[in-house]
């Protein structure tokens, strides 16, 4: 089966392409390189010993996108391409709405025109806002606190209406918790441009001595050590979740929602201490004020994904920390 992967050179997209190729899917990548680099294609090929088709284009560009559908005739789509920085989305909301919504609308149009019935969408736990209880289940109320999160929620709604209007379309919404880690080969990982917003990329810059110390945003939350608690999930586990989702699209039309997390909450200090222990390296840090918009704790109930997709996370935070650091060391060689 041929799968079109938008944003296939990004952090989660590239790991998913590897898993798809290893499971003998044909992969067509569309990416505009806005937050990725072209050498990722060679890394994917080196890991899998297989080839991919690549098109450098913006999914919002309908004319160019249609040429890809005409030529490649994909049977399924996994849609990762999106802007994803929370802070930037507050400063540039129109850019976020334009990019994230229009790209998805164009893909829906192409699905209708080229009879593509299988679609997997990259959503986020951010659609749960600040939940009243934990762990988070898929039927919890949806609420967002920033434009990035609102784009994800709006797209979920658009896809719901789209599915209702079509007979045979199957859409799987995957709500990711906090993806970290890297491919065990050390060839793929997360390497954001500029100063990172997210915790693990920041820790890596400190490990690399590019940044002096980590700033921990608050130690006065109602958690075991006062720092924020999150459900970190290894990116390879997350990538595998997309293959399980694709299997589901082959079985049943409709729209289905799944949390992809481990179900375990770890604090910022847990992650820092584990990183230090497994990699034998010190991460200097200081405690700062809380970051606006952060919640104290957030972790998933992923039972539904296990029951309906047969998926569950296998890797723990030790592997996440080891693989992330291994990627850093390999990228220096």
Is residue 76 a contact residue for ligand UD1 (CB under 6 A)? Answer: no
74 binds ligand UD1 per the rule CB under 6 A: no
Q: How far is the CB of 108 from ligand UD1 (least distance, A)?
A: 23
Q: Which residues of 225-238 are buried (b: 16+ CB within 10 A; e: fewer)?
A: ebbbbbbbbbbbbb
Residue 84 CB-density burial (10 A; 0-12 exposed, 13-18 middle, 19+ buried): buried
Q: Which of 268, 300, 313, 315 binds ligand UD1 (CB under 6 A)?
A: 268
- Indicate the residue among 87 and 310 with the shorter CB distance to ligand UD1: 87
Binding window for ligand UD1 (CB under 6 A); candidates: 4-12, 14-22, 238-246, 288-296: 288-296
Max intra-chain CA distance, the chain: 56
Distance CA(2)–CA(5), nearest Å, equals: 10
Report the first-to-last Cα separation within the chain, whole angstroms. Answer: 36
Given 83, 96, 148, 299, which residue is catalytic? 148
Cα distance between residue 43 and residue 39, in whole Å:
7
Q: Shortest distance, CB of residue 35 to ligand UD1, whole angstroms?
A: 12
C-beta closer to ligand UD1: residue 118 or 152: 152
Note if 266 is an active site residue: no
C-alpha pair distances (Å), 161 with each of 132, 154, 191, 255: 28, 11, 35, 10
Binding string, residues 131-160; x marks residues near ligand UD1 by CB under 6 A: ---------------x--x-----------
- Count Cβ atoms below 10 Å from residue 165 Cβ, excluding itself: 10
Query: Can you spell out the DSSP letters for 159-211?
Result: HHHHHHH-SS-EEEEEEE-EEE---TTSS-----SSS--SHHHHHHHHHTTSS
Considering beta carbons, is residue 134 or 169 the nearer one to ligand UD1? 134
Within positions 174 to 233, which residues make up the interface with ligand UD1, using CB under 6 A? 178-179, 197-199, 202, 214-217, 228, 230
The residues annotated as belonging to the active site are 148
Kindly list the residues in this chain that would bind ligand UD1 in the complex (CB under 6 A): 86, 124, 126, 146, 149, 178-179, 197-199, 202, 214-217, 228, 230, 268, 291, 293-294
């Amino acid at each position: 089966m041929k799968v079109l992967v938008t944003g296939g050179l990004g952090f989660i997209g590239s790991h998913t392409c590897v898993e798809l190729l290893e499971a003998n899917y044909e992969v067509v990548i569309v990416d505009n390189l806005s937050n990725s680099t072209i050498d990722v294609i060679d890394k994917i090929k080196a890991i899998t010993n297989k080839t991919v088709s690549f098109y450098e284009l913006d999914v919002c560009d309908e004319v160019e996108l249609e040429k890809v559908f005409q030529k490649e005739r994909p049977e399924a789509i996994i849609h990762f391409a999106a802007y994803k920085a929370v802070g930037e989305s507050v400063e540039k909301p129109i850019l976020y709405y334009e990019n994230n919504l229009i790209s998805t609308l164009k893909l829906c149009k192409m699905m209708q025109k080229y009879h593509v019935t299988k679609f997997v969408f990259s959503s986020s736990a951010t659609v749960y806002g600040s939940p009243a209880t934990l762990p988070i289940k898929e039927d919890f109320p949806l609420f967002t606190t920033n434009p990035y999160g609102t784009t994800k929620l709006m797209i979920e709604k658009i896809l719901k209406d789209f599915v209702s209007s079509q007979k045979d379309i199957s859409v799987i919404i995957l709500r990711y918790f906090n993806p970290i880690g890297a491919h065990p080969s050390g060839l793929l990982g997360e390497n954001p441009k500029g100063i990172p917003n997210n915790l693990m990329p920041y820790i890596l810059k400190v490990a690399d001595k590019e940044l002096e110390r980590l700033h921990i945003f608050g130690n006065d939350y109602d958690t075991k050590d006062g720092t924020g608690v999150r459900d970190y999930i290894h990116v390879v586990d997350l990538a595998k979740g997309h293959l399980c989702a694709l299997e589901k699209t082959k079985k049943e039309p409709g729209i289905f929602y799944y949390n992809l997390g481990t179900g375990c909450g770890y604090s910022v200090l847990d992650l820092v201490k584990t990183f230090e222990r497994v990699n034998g390296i010190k991460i200097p840090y200081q405690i700062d004020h809380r970051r606006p918009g952060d919640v104290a704790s957030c972790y998933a109930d992923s039972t539904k994904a296990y029951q309906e997709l047969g998926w569950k996370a296998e890797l723990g935070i030790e592997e996440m920390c080891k693989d992330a650091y291994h990627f850093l060391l390999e990228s220096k060689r």
